[in-house]
Amino acid sequence: MIRLLADENFNNEIIRGVKRRIPEADITRIQDTEIAGQPDSVVLEWAFNHGFIVLSHDVNTIRGYFYDRLKANLPVPGLFLAQATAAIGAIIDTLELILLASSDDEWQGEIRFLPF
């Protein structure tokens, strides 16, 4: 199953909504790991090394670090970005579809904006 790593700024209501629909969903919050408070560059490296796709509302900064890693030929995890103003229900719907109908290897090295 796809493993998601929610950035520290990611809306917990979305996480709870996904877990209500898919109780077995593997979603970890950064603040519950040893990399809490670390910069985005560390988050991306840690996520890749531990098999996570990153969830974030930080559509500018973390995306820049993602592209910096690509330019440096460093591996990158998948990155799902959602505007903080996007409809929560639509984001939950999209994540549910992703979790039920795809595999993590489809998203490695990809950036996607939620909802889609």
Average pLDDT over residues 67-84: 96
Domain map of the chain by residue range?
Answer: 3-114
pLDDT at residue 102, rounded to an integer: 96
* pLDDT at residue 1 in the model: 85
Q: Based on the number of CB atoms within 10 Å of its own CB, is 101 exposed (0-12), middle (13-18) or buried (19 or more)?
A: exposed
- The arrangement of strands across the sheet holding 111-114 comes to 26-29, 3-6, 53-56, 79-82, 111-114
What kind of architecture, by CATH, is found in domain 3-114?
A: 3-Layer(aba) Sandwich (3.40)
Average pLDDT over residues 18-36: 98
Average pLDDT score, the chain? 96
